[in-house]
Structure 1
């Protein structure tokens, strides 16, 4: 291992006027593919804070070499107010996002110093717990968080990626697909998230964001859901089987650019970097003779379901999302969602040769200066996030 940089680097807050260009260069330099002559980088619309600025409490820290003021690392952090149904209270959850270290300056302790610095900032600003995610096969990251930083694995999640099918299939005639109003969706989610291990308290703000295309519910026509259009009755009687999802169009603000196009086997490599990068879809059809492709994706968020007959309902929602994306195929070329290993909906995600997935690990740690009873601590560490309801779409 190379010598540690120690006091040769300065960890400070991001300065938009001074650092934006260097941060974008560092982001690009850290992406998969640069060594193979293929450049995949995240276009953050010239806004390095786009992943965290929607939260009232957020920050971005950079690692700067003192000898030449060069930026060699960065990390973003924010605080979310989440509900913990099993514990029966709300907590301030600090989230660590987008840890990057320049390839030439890795294995020098910069990543550890960035994590420790962002943890300190989050705790100073009221975080009771800190959390982060990394891809399961990223051994360097898992060792950093679990061994050096003492994080406990909270849950295993799986990211599903599928190219937009053209033409998408129409839904079966015996299935109803209804779009909920924002108020209906808020009432529905609040009712069905209550009692879950971990869920967003500000679901109303999430659903009102401009990137949200809406919320759709799929159920069998035979159930004849009378209370759907009566907000006072929306939760009084639900169908025997139903699946609901909200659809986010990340294509509007967050794109990928693939330069010097390459056969699709390359996209396998990008999946190992997918947690913090909006990744391309495996086996996606691109023009291999072009110099670059720019595209985005639809994210299925708040994917929940109950009942015994979920497979057809899930397929109908997935096909609808594909049809919606197909209408916007110029910018949107993939459907993405994320589900916990323990989520029964995982069994009903449409399968096929075009579907790809990777494993994601979520880690949690209690802030050192926070007091918690042994029982509360055990309950929190045993929590399982509600699939992609825990994966806030604003992080993308």
Structure 2
């Protein structure tokens, strides 16, 4: 079914993706977009034969494709989904319907022709029809083309700045900190804890229980001081005075990465570090995993810590997640995304050269301005306010 934007440019039609009809063509199109710049390494994403994999776990999702009608060729694509998330009000948690825009791609020969703009406009129309109040997107601060498209042409506003932290998985286990006990929480208990700890955060999903019961969720883990074990409350009616918590999402079952275009010298140096780490694991060398073949990552989300010694507790949880990833032959990195003012950011182990210092989230109000029933202020205040925003942003693992 075509949208109302199919007339401009005249050779372009934007329509919903048809899995039976379009799958092979979309895969070919995605491969054409994975081009390398001469002499520069690139990170290629493989969607494992499912163009909808990045949005399929949302109840309400869509993929639109741009088709060159004269050539019967797909030249662009975009994905979107809608969820209900918190605005992060300090006194009253307010939930709104939020659309997430991702996966915008246009084949190289058809860029700068308005294809990307039309795809965004058409997706916004779909979001409005399905009741979304806002739409947001995320991109690296260095991606000027994407930022210019959304902020200059599509009226999005820079909203929040997050940091993506990447910790390579080594051949050796990371030691856990003494005096710390790690307990795994069942999904129901984890949901209750998250609802308590993220009450003032932004983007907390209303369907957190659905996320925690998803087959891609590998578990929720809480670290507490060993001295508190005798006082452990299995029902979590009262949270421990000191604790850290996180959940682990298995992204390698959805998509995988591969680094291409490195020099032979770099390749040899990385391979040499792995050999030394394997032969002498007791040295705990910072080896570089084999990123040059397809690999997956574990995504850490729901990170929170509080109380005396919480930094040690979070570091121990991160070591536990690393060791889980080490036992998974295809998992070669552990990744987390946190707000730049989140205290967890200073605790997370990561390699700076592999991390993204600034992941920009841009937002746009889709519905007409209306009064917020909880605060008696216009809803636009949330977009423009930074001083009143929570330092903690809950990053939905389905967004990654």
Q: Separation in 1 of the partners of 2:172 and 2:116? A: 45
Q: Separation in 1 of the partners of 2:349 and 2:105? A: 33
Give 2:143's aligned residue: 138
Q: Separation in 2 of the partners of 1:143 and 1:39? A: 22
CA contact (8 A) 1:225 1:237 kept: no
Q: Separation in 2 of the partners of 1:52 and 1:251? A: 15
Give 1:198's aligned residue: 203
- Describe the shift of the 1:147–1:265 C-alpha distance in structure 2 as closer, same or farther (beyond 3 A): farther
Q: Residue 100 of structure 1 aligns to a residue in which SS?
A: strand
Does residue 1:92 correspond to 2:91, yes or no?
A: no
When the two chains are superposed, the root-mean-square deviation of aligned CA atoms in Å is: 2.7
> How do 1:178-193 and structure 2 match up within 5 A?
178-193=183-198
Q: Separation in 1 of the partners of 2:188 and 2:85? A: 20
Which residue of 132, 136, 158 maps to 1:153? Answer: 158
Does residue 1:316 correspond to 2:316, yes or no?
A: yes
- Describe the shift of the 1:5–1:377 C-alpha distance in structure 2 as closer, same or farther (beyond 3 A): closer
Please state how far the C-alpha of 1:226 moved relative to its aligned partner. 2.3
Give 1:217's aligned residue: 222
Q: Separation in 1 of the partners of 2:85 and 2:355? A: 30
Q: Separation in 2 of the partners of 1:41 and 1:206? A: 26
Which residue of 67, 78, 81 maps to 2:81? Answer: 78
Q: Separation in 1 of the partners of 2:159 and 2:80? A: 18
TM-score (norm 1): 0.85
CA contact (8 A) 1:5 1:110 kept: no
Q: Residue 125 of structure 2 aligns to a residue in which SS?
A: helix
Q: Separation in 1 of the partners of 2:97 and 2:367? A: 14
Q: Residue 215 of structure 1 aligns to a residue in which SS?
A: strand
Q: Residue 7 of structure 1 aligns to a residue in which SS?
A: coil
Q: Separation in 2 of the partners of 1:225 and 1:151? A: 51
CA contact (8 A) 1:227 1:235 kept: no
Please state how far the C-alpha of 1:223 moved relative to its aligned partner. 3.4
Give 1:395's aligned residue: 399
- Describe the shift of the 1:195–1:395 C-alpha distance in structure 2 as closer, same or farther (beyond 3 A): closer
Give 1:27's aligned residue: 30
Deviations 1:209-239 (A, max 9, x none): 111110111122233462432x2xx041422
Give 1:284's aligned residue: 288
> How do 1:10-21 and structure 2 match up within 5 A?
10-21=13-24
Does residue 1:226 correspond to 2:231, yes or no?
A: yes
Please state how far the C-alpha of 1:52 moved relative to its aligned partner. 1.1
Which residue of 46, 64, 70 maps to 1:43? Answer: 46
Please state how far the C-alpha of 1:371 moved relative to its aligned partner. 2.8
Q: Separation in 1 of the partners of 2:42 and 2:164? A: 22
CA contact (8 A) 1:302 1:388 kept: no
Aligned residues: 368
Deviations 1:338-373 (A, max 9, x none): 011111111111255776334201111111445346
Q: Residue 188 of structure 2 aligns to a residue in which SS?
A: helix
Deviations 1:99-156 (A, max 9, x none): 0011111111111111111111100111011111111111111111112111112210
Please state how far the C-alpha of 1:32 moved relative to its aligned partner. 5.3
Q: Separation in 2 of the partners of 1:388 and 1:164? A: 25
Structure 1 stretches lacking a partner, 5+ long: 267-281
- Describe the shift of the 1:283–1:31 C-alpha distance in structure 2 as closer, same or farther (beyond 3 A): farther
TM-score (norm 2): 0.84
Q: Separation in 1 of the partners of 2:30 and 2:55? A: 16
Which residue of 98, 101, 108 maps to 2:113? Answer: 108
Q: Separation in 2 of the partners of 1:53 and 1:172? A: 38
CA contact (8 A) 2:54 2:254 kept: no
Q: Separation in 2 of the partners of 1:256 and 1:352? A: 17
Q: Separation in 2 of the partners of 1:283 and 1:371? A: 54
Does residue 1:119 correspond to 2:118, yes or no?
A: no
Q: Separation in 2 of the partners of 1:142 and 1:353? A: 23
Please state how far the C-alpha of 1:206 moved relative to its aligned partner. 0.2
Q: Separation in 2 of the partners of 1:132 and 1:264? A: 37
